[in-house]
Amino acid sequence: MERTPQECFEKLLNAYSHNYDLTMDVEEEGIRFPALAHYFLRDEHYLVRRDKQFYATEQHDYTYFHVTDHLDAAGARELLDLTLKAGLARIKPHKEHMSSFVTLVVLAETIDPEAQRLLKKTRFHKNYRLALHGWMEYHIAAMECSTRTFLSNPAGRGARKTLEANFAPK
């Protein structure tokens, strides 16, 4: 059954809505995203009582969705730069910050081979204060809807598996 990128996006939002807070029609860094999903986890450990906190950690995941008919290399490069810049602006490192992920999920009818190569090879990892204030990683996952082709950068395997779980032929 052939689905358009917009139909795939609606199904994917339903899958993300169980664990993420969704914000629709987000404009950041001059580009409009149909949705932004934010995941937040705080884990606290105590000594004897709750007012004696031993340590706490926080994790964030900012997932930007992009839906298009065709993605070429120039559009992919611009999209990667803008989402990374927007995601880095959202991260606020502090002593309890453990990790943050900025994730880009692209749903396109067709993706140029050069754009596919760029999406697969893009990597970004940043430590804050020698990782004492946490770290961040850039995840990328994409699906070419016409051929049901899934791709990701090495860090984005988890996002790619989410796409495959929802759209791969059984």
Residue 12 tokens read as 């994917």
- Please provide the DSSP assignment of 32-68 as one string: EEEEEEEEEEEEEEEESEEEEEEEEEEEEEEEEEEEE
Percent of residues, the chain, with pLDDT higher than 90: 82
Give the C-alpha distances (Å, rounded to integers) separating 145 from 1, 6, 44, 78, 141.
11, 10, 41, 21, 13
pLDDT of residue 67: 95
Contacts (Cβ under 8 Å, ≥6 apart) of 142: 71, 105, 106, 107, 108, 111, 116, 119, 150, 151, 152
Domain spans in the chain, listed from the N-terminal domain onward: 65-158
| SS3 state of residue 72 | coil
Is residue 63's pLDDT more than 60?
A: yes
Mean local confidence (pLDDT), 114-124: 96
Is residue 59's pLDDT more than 70?
A: yes
pLDDT of residue 45: 87
Is residue 51's pLDDT more than 90?
A: no
Q: What's the pLDDT band for 126 if we cut at 50, 70, 90?
A: very high
pLDDT of residue 39: 97
Which pTM does this prediction carry?
Answer: 0.92
Question: Distance between CA atoms of 77 and 162, rounded to whole angstroms?
Answer: 23
Question: Distance between CA atoms of 122 and 126, rounded to whole angstroms?
Answer: 14
pLDDT of residue 1: 52
Q: What's the pLDDT band for 170 if we cut at 50, 70, 90?
A: confident
Is residue 29's pLDDT more than 70?
A: yes
Torsion of CA 108, 113, 114, 120, to 10 degrees: 70
Rounded mean pLDDT of the chain? Answer: 93
